Structure 1
């Protein structure tokens, strides 16, 4: 695999995880009893514990709880889908640039003149720079 393939795989994994958590939050909110429920409590790990519509106690988990109240899960899902599409478009842009370069033979210094798609992918990966699988070579 090339550096670009590894970067694309890394981004897809992060975005699909983000989307999956948002789907869990959306589904949990569908079941959640909103309002000022006196039974609602916060656990020590930060996850919401409360009573769902059936009167059952449930624990949403820390990752899901973080989404509740921050932004609508549907918005997070749509953004993750859009970013996944941008990853594909950036990959396609690199292919188009390769064709143009071959046709016009203008030459490229890969270090100082990166492909547009590479630059887009590196920017998309930057918010995940603290992830253990992030590589410094991906930094823009």
Structure 2
């Protein structure tokens, strides 16, 4: 199997980080919700349902960038270990995950991809098995 999933995830994480970076114009700090209003440091947005305001504030750029960094570390750990040319050929002569030895792509990579399943480049084969069979 090719490394398409890894490339797909890297691109999505790059997009998430780039957008988060554009939303933090002056690096002011954490977004906060106050009732029907989200304080974006530079401007307030009011008229939102309090639950929506909390949700928006929870996804401030600093948090998104921390999530992207964590996901990139996971992606770095879970690299493809191809069976072809591997001196320690996987037991089942299959491509496996260098981190956990599971069949590649491993469940962790499939879970990282799942939030992007609505992206036009997402491939159905990347759905975790338990979701594909429902």
* TM-score, length of structure 2 as denominator length: 0.58
Q: How many residues align?
A: 104
CA RMSD of superposed structures (Å)? 3.4
* Deviant stretches of 4+, over 4 Å: 96-101
1:27 positional shift: 2.0
**Is the 1:97–1:115 contact (alpha carbons within 8 Å) kept by the matching residues of 2?**
no
Structure with bigger helix share is 1
Q: Does 1 or 2 have the higher relative contact order (CA < 8 Å, sep 6+)?
A: 1
SS in 2 for 1:86: helix
Question: Higher Cα Rg: structure 1 or 2?
Answer: 1
**Is the 1:19–1:77 contact (alpha carbons within 8 Å) kept by the matching residues of 2?**
yes
C-alpha spacing 1:34/1:18, structure 2 compared with 1 (3 Å): same
1:107 aligns with 2:89: no
Structure 2, unpaired ranges of 5+: 29-39, 48-54, 96-100, 129-134
Alignment map for 1:57-96 (pairs within 5 Å): 69-91=57-79, 94-95=80-81
C-alpha spacing 1:26/1:97, structure 2 compared with 1 (3 Å): farther
Structure 1, unpaired ranges of 5+: 43-66
